[in-house]
């Protein structure tokens, strides 16, 4: 028997309509680097999104399902694109502006983007690529920046504001199939070619509701969220969509992502929430330690994308800012877990929960798969690869314009679960603790050593700014850990001392023999430790390694 309920498609245009009317006074504030930031209300964004959709359809001829790319910072125009492009039935393709040129070329060609919206300040990045992007017919330039890089190129160039001018502020958004493609995002491609995840209207809608749950980010129109996580990194973790559901004000840093302007933004605009990867919070901590600022408006901060060292959480606790750990992936939209401790605990009792990756919300099912392919118990001890499934989790990758969706065996199980490549344990009450990426685990004499555990312990040392641990080949043990350490300013290297410090919390057989000091840990395009670069530096003999007896 079927239900008697209405079946209204879950569409992004509905989120836009809701946010721009019911929460029309909420604001997107974009940092400009000048005395005053730029402010635009949700109501204005609704009107401008309609104008953009008219422009894309009527002036540029964008049809349903065609890909419209953005190469943009976090700002209000990017929010307009987030809503206009999928709502009109086209597909928003956010481009990661930190990727190497050849990967960007691959991605744009693979997605067959027809239009690119680009911030003027990013033209020096886009212009040299354009001769290699045969599908791109139109470039729409947004905001300040020198246009000269585009001169002489075989592409039609438009000014964003001119394109919008005079167009109707209302659009009859089509009643699409909710399973239709709304947005796409390519994974950073640490191995092999980047792979495209295609989100549907339905998955975005449901994920946004999840972001807004109290046990998730739980924000309202009383809040302002500083969205540092780039809009090209898994839809800024779903925040731009979620904000239009509940009226959360957005504070957008545009290109001002350095610690000093971020600290100034927080002190002046007083966001109550923020979201970014650990590297950003490490940088900000160093900044406010040197030049104190009041960060206490931020009631809580969502930190994820890479493991958050407990020492970082402690440091922010002392500043009156609570970091809340989250785990997710491009393939999971991204929110997969969030670490809110259960009710009724003291601060001390909460701590072991806070340093996990968090609990699975309704909508994300999880299982751990052991080395023999068996499903492991949730006992907080049995370690295996995490697999997940749910309404906002990818079932395949984009196969290109004419190809079938791709379901590589190492990413999707035969029964349809996503293989995350993350290794960890789950407690009986559903808290996930990740010990490593499967490919980063150090396999020493048949036993596994967690690189993340060693890194967290090292980063708790008062003289260590950052530390990354990777597996390196070892004749006797197969693999052993190599510790690469970034010291705080003025500190001197004492490897024996660091090892003795580790020995307080780590088993003796896991302690690294090989040590090296580096100026910075290499980072990926979204600010995570890039361990394959470290492994290569070691293999090429580029690191000055000390081996302790």
Query: Which residues are designated catalytic?
Result: 187, 331, 443, 448
**CB of 308 vs ligand AMP, minimal distance in Å:** 6
Name which of 80 and 331 has its Cβ closer to ligand AMP. Answer: 331
Name which of 178 and 385 has its Cβ closer to ligand AMP. Answer: 385
425: how many CB neighbours lie within 10 A of its CB?
A: 21
The binding site for ligand AMP (CB under 6 A) comprises 187-188, 234, 304-307, 325-330, 334, 357, 420-422, 434, 437, 526
Inter-axis angle of helices 239-246 and 201-211, nearest 10: 70
SS3 411: coil
Name which of 354 and 514 has its Cβ closer to ligand AMP. Answer: 354
- For residue 429, give the nearest of 375, 347, 358, 329 by alpha carbon: 358
**CB of 525 vs ligand AMP, minimal distance in Å:** 9
**CB of 386 vs ligand AMP, minimal distance in Å:** 8
SS3 4: coil
Name which of 62 and 184 has its Cβ closer to ligand AMP. Answer: 184
Name which of 229 and 242 has its Cβ closer to ligand AMP. Answer: 229
Q: How far apart are CA 217 and CA 26, in angstroms?
A: 18
Name which of 143 and 305 has its Cβ closer to ligand AMP. Answer: 305
Q: How far apart are CA 229 and CA 222, in angstroms?
A: 21
Q: Is 546 left (phi over 0), alpha (psi -120 to 50) or beta?
A: beta
Task: Note the Cα 378 to chain centre separation in Å.
Answer: 27
**CB of 470 vs ligand AMP, minimal distance in Å:** 15
Name which of 246 and 525 has its Cβ closer to ligand AMP. Answer: 525
**CB of 129 vs ligand AMP, minimal distance in Å:** 22
Name which of 263 and 306 has its Cβ closer to ligand AMP. Answer: 306
Task: Note the Cα 232 to chain centre separation in Å.
Answer: 8
Q: How far apart are CA 145 and CA 450, in angstroms?
A: 45
Q: Which two tokens stand for residue 315?
A: 């440091």
**CB of 190 vs ligand AMP, minimal distance in Å:** 8
Q: How many CA atoms lie within 13 A of 422 on its CB side?
A: 25
**CB of 197 vs ligand AMP, minimal distance in Å:** 8
**CB of 26 vs ligand AMP, minimal distance in Å:** 27
SS3 158: strand
From residue 79, alpha-carbon distances to 27, 76, 246 in Å are 11, 5, 15
Q: How far apart are CA 321 and CA 273, in angstroms?
A: 10
SS3 517: strand
Name which of 188 and 210 has its Cβ closer to ligand AMP. Answer: 188
From residue 83, alpha-carbon distances to 17, 71, 182, 405 in Å are 10, 16, 10, 25
Q: How far apart are CA 335 and CA 431, in angstroms?
A: 14
Q: How far apart are CA 147 and CA 214, in angstroms?
A: 45
Q: Which two tokens stand for residue 451?
A: 């690189």
Q: How far apart are CA 319 and CA 292, in angstroms?
A: 10
Q: How far apart are CA 182 and CA 241, in angstroms?
A: 12
Q: How far apart are CA 524 and CA 532, in angstroms?
A: 10
Strands (DSSP E) found in 147-195: 156-159, 181-186
Residues 386/420, Cβ–Cβ less than 8 Å: yes
Q: What is the distance in angstroms between the CA of the first residue and the CA of the last residue of the chain?
A: 72
Scanning 112-159, the segments in alpha helix (DSSP H) are 123-126
**CB of 436 vs ligand AMP, minimal distance in Å:** 8
Q: How far apart are CA 136 and CA 140, in angstroms?
A: 11
Name which of 259 and 305 has its Cβ closer to ligand AMP. Answer: 305
SS3 445: coil
**CB of 387 vs ligand AMP, minimal distance in Å:** 12
């Amino acid at each position: 028997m079927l239900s008697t309920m209405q079946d209204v498609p879950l569409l992004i245009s509905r989120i836009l309509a809701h946010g721009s009317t019911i929460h029309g006074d909420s604001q997107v504030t974009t940092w400009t680097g000048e005395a005053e930031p730029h402010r635009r209300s949700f109501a204005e964004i609704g009107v401008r999104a309609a104008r953009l959709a008219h422009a894309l359809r009527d002036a540029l001829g964008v049809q349903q399902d065609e890909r419209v790319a953005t190469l943009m910072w976090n700002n209000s125009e990017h929010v307009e694109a987030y809503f206009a492009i999928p709502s009109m039935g086209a597909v928003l393709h956010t481009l990661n502006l930190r990727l190497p040129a050849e990967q960007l070329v691959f991605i744009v060609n693979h997605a067959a983007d027809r239009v690119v919206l680009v911030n003027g300040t990013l033209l020096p990045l886009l212009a040299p690529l354009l001769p290699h992007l045969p599908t791109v017919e139109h470039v729409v330039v947004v905001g300040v920046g020198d246009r000269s890089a585009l001169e002489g190129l075989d592409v039609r160039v438009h000014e964003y504001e001119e394109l919008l001018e005079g167009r109707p502020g209302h659009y009859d958004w089509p009643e699409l199939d909710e399973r239709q493609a709304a947005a796409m995002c390519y994974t950073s491609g640490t191995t092999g070619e980047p792979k495209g995840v295609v989100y549907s209207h339905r998955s975005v809608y449901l994920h946004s509701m999840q972001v807004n749950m109290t046990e998730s980010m739980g924000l309202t129109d009383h809040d302002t969220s500083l969205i540092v996580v780039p809009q090209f990194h898994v839809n800024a973790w779903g925040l731009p969509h979620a904000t239009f559901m509940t009226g959360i004000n957005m504070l957008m840093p545009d290109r001002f992502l350095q610690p000093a302007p971020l600290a100034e933004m927080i002190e002046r605009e007083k966001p109550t929430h923020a979201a970014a990867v650990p590297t950003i919070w490490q940088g900000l901590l160093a900044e406010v330690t040197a030049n104190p600022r009041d960060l206490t408006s931020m009631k809580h901060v969502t930190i994820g994308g890479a493991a958050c060292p407990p020492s970082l959480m402690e440091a922010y606790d002392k500043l009156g800012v609570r970091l809340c750990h989250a785990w997710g992936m491009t393939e999971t939209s991204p929110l997969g877990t969030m670490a809110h401790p259960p009710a009724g605990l003291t601060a001390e009792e909460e701590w072991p929960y806070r340093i996990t990756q968090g609990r699975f919300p309704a909508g994300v099912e999880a299982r751990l798969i052991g080395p023999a392919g068996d499903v492991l118990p949730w006992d907080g001890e049995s370690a295996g690869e995490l697999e997940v499934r749910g309404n906002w989790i990818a079932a395949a990758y984009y196969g290109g314009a004419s190809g079938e969706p791709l379901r590589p065996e190492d990413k999707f199980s035969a029964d349809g679960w996503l293989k995350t490549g993350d290794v960890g344990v789950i407690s009986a009450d559903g808290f996930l603790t990740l010990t490593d990426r499967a490919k980063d685990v150090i396999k020493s004499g048949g036993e596994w050593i967690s690189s993340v555990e060693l890194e967290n312990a090292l980063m708790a040392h008062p003289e260590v700014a950052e530390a990354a641990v990777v597996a390196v080949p070892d004749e006797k043990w197969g693999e052993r850990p190599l510790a690469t350490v970034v010291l705080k300013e003025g500190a001197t290297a004492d490897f024996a001392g660091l090892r003795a410090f580790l020995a307080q919390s780590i088993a003796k057989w896991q302690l690294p023999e090989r040590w090296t000091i580096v100026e910075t840990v290499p980072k990926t395009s979204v600010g995570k430790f890039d361990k394959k670069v470290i492994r290569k530096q070691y293999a090429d003999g580029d690191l000055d390694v000390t081996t302790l007896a």
